[in-house]
């Protein structure tokens, strides 16, 4: 049985962010709150909302069973980081474009 396309998109997001941050997907799914991992996790949430039709609870479920309000806060956090950090904004923009192209194929 194959995975639903929506979850395939989330797996692609996790893999892309893990690659950029040079961490593992398990780091993103884990409980660590170190700055780099937390930033990467917020990027995953932002990309998931922007590039997929997954709901906040669905994203939370994929990201280790996190509550939907945690996901909402992480999406907001990514927006704030992007306004202050040009490198983060550049990564966000690049990955958004890449993932949007992949999801329209």
- Domains annotated for the chain, with CATH where assigned, are 5-103 (1.10.1750.10)
On whether the CB atoms of residues 3 and 13 are closer than 8 A, the answer is no
**pLDDT over threshold 70, residue 7:** yes
The 10s digit of each residue's pLDDT in 50-59 is 999 999 999 9
The 10s digit of each residue's pLDDT in 27-84 is 999 999 999 999 999 999 999 999 999 999 999 999 999 999 999 999 999 999 999 9
- Report the predicted TM-score, pTM, of the whole model to 2 decimal places: 0.90
Q: Determine how many CB atoms are found less than 10 A away from the CB of residue 96.
A: 15
Q: Report the Cα 78 to chain-centroid distance in Å.
A: 10
**pLDDT over threshold 70, residue 1:** no
């Amino acid at each position: 049985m194959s995975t639903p396309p929506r979850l395939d998109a989330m797996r692609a997001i996790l893999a892309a962010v893990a690659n950029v941050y040079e961490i593992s997907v398990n780091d993103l799914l884990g409980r660590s709150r170190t700055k780099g991992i937390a930033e990467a996790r917020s990027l995953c949430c932002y990309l998931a909302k922007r590039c997929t039709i997954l709901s906040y609870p669905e994203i939370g479920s994929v990201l280790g069973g996190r509550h939907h309000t945690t996901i909402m806060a992480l999406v907001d956090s990514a927006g704030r980081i992007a306004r202050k950090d040009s490198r983060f904004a550049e990564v966000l923009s690049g990955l958004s474009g890449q993932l949007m192209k992949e999801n329209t194929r």
